[in-house]
């Protein structure tokens, strides 16, 4: 590792502290101009009434930062857009007349990428071990996004996670006989179990099919300790 010549380590506690000290002047300038804004460290959103006003403010504030504070603005990451098309600290908002706070689509996608890594490693492991590995990630993620007012995406994520786990179960039951017997043990009648086990569809399709949903319902995973994001949020906000 080469020695650092300038700047501070990304993610360290010193970086946001120094940002707040330096950008305190920016806060005062925005307040002086009467703008509504939010800022955390060097991430700042300014809210105005029109696209033209947004372009004008972006240009003037960029000039002010570069001239007054001698800072270089990343123009690729800066832009003017509708509030619901932008994100701030992983959050976005709805397009309603009275907007609601929601988790940004990019934050959802990043979570899925992280969880997919766990699911890929879990194909040869016990389901309980996979769920135990999911717990801290899901708990920490939901704790951070506990302010969200839009809950529908959490229902979809819960369903997606359970389907991924059913997919692992189906893959682990490699043979037709093993699949049929497992489905019968989970309550399916013999005819339906054998019909389902021999359908020649792929693991992902079967993971979302009615026979796997019936054999391995939500309650099955709850008993193994799987966290529901929707219920976790309800507990945080109660």
Residues 118-168: pLDDT tens digits?
Answer: 999 877 789 999 999 999 999 999 999 999 999 999 999 999 999 999 999
Say if residues 162 and 194 touch (Cβ distance below 8 Å). Answer: no
Residue 4 has pLDDT above 60, yes or no: no
What is the pLDDT confidence band of residue 24, given thresholds at 50, 70 and 90? confident
Percent residues over pLDDT 70 in the chain: 95
Mean pLDDT of 9-28: 79
Do strands 91-93 and 101-103 pair parallel, antiparallel, or not at all (unpaired)?
Answer: antiparallel
pLDDT in tens, 165-204: 999 999 999 999 999 999 999 999 999 999 999 999 999 9
Residue 228: the pLDDT is 96
What is the spatial distance between Cα 81 and Cα 101, in angstroms, rounded to a whole number?
A: 17
Higher pLDDT, 150 or 12: 150
Residue 41: the pLDDT is 82
């Amino acid at each position: 590792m080469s020695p650092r010549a300038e700047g501070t380590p990304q993610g360290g506690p010193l970086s946001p502290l120094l940002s707040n000290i330096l950008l305190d002047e920016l806060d005062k300038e925005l307040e002086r101009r009467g703008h509504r804004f939010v800022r955390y460290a060097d991430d700042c959103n300014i809210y105005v009434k029109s696209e033209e006003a947004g372009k004008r403010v972006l240009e003037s504030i960029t000039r002010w930062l570069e001239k007054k504070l001698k800072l270089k603005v990343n123009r690729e990451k800066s832009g003017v857009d509708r509030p619901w098309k932008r994100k701030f600290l992983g959050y976005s908002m709805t397009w309603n007349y009275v907007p609601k706070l929601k988790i940004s689509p990019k934050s959802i996608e990043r979570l899925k990428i992280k969880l997919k890594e766990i699911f890929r490693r879990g194909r040869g492991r016990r389901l309980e071990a996979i769920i135990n590995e999911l717990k801290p990630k899901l708990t920490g993620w939901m704790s951070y996004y506990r302010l969200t007012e839009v809950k529908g995406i959490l229902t979809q994520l819960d369903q997606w996670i359970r389907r991924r786990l059913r997919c692992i179960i189906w893959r682990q039951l490699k043979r037709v006989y093993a699949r049929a017997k497992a489905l019968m043990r989970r309550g399916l009648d013999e005819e339906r179990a054998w019909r389902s086990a021999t359908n020649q569809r792929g693991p992902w399709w079967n993971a979302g099919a009615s026979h796997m949903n019936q054999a391995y319902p939500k309650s099955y995973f709850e008993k193994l300790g799987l966290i529901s994001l929707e219920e976790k949020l309800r507990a945080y906000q109660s």
